[in-house]
Amino acid sequence: MKLTRRSLLDTGWKVGAALLTAAAGWTSWELLRPLRTSAASGKVNLGNPSQYAKDTATYNTAGRLWVANAGGHLFALSQKCPHLGCRVPFCESSGRFECPCHGSIFDIGGEHVAGPAPRGMDQYTLSIENDELIADTSKRTDGPPHGAATYLTPPKGPSCKGQG
């Protein structure tokens, strides 16, 4: 077979089209597959429960979760927004969790306040063993439904949205 300029270009176009199709397929798969959980799987020691001051949220890197003290009630909250899985930071100035991706806002207890999230922040089971707070990240429960306002208080101050 004689290699001509035309056959070389024809083969090049076919290879390029195949690579483009493969890249499009891979991108579509990445966009459509379910998000993996980002929390460690299993029990995480969160320390003494008394170290969590009232109306504060503390991030725990080992469990990749928030420990929130809402009026004396402790919660282990998933760092992921139930809307699309973005990492939700705690805004110290407002005293609320504010998702930077699509604007969902949650109170200190993880209850939905505003935005497109379908529910409040997901929670992990907490227990106390030998005076230590333990979160079981293998046991996640859906967050509270819209309208739950057990721990809802007015914001402490300005929102963190738009800062930074």
Per residue in 7-33, pLDDT (tens digit) is 889 999 999 999 999 999 988 887 777
The more confidently predicted of residues 112 and 41 is 112
Quick check: is 97 in a domain?
yes
Quick check: is 156 in a domain?
no
Q: Residue 150, Cβ neighbours under 10 Å: how many?
A: 11
Do the beta carbons of residue 119 and residue 143 sit within 8 Å? yes
Domain span including residue 51: 43-141
Q: Is residue 56 classed as helix, strand or coil in its secondary structure? A: strand
* CATH number reported for the structural domain that contains residue 115 in this entry: 2.102.10.10
Give the containing element (helix H, strand E) for 24: helix 5-32
User: What's the pLDDT tens digit per position in 61-116?
Assistant: 888 899 999 888 999 999 999 988 889 999 998 889 999 888 899 999 999 999 99
Q: What is the DSSP letter of 163?
A: -
pTM here is 0.70
Quick check: is 128 in a domain?
yes
Quick check: is 55 in a domain?
yes
Quick check: is 2 in a domain?
no
User: What's the pLDDT tens digit per position in 134-149?
Assistant: 998 888 898 888 888 8
Number of folded domains that form the chain: 1
Compute φ and ψ for 8, nearest 5 degrees.
-65, -45
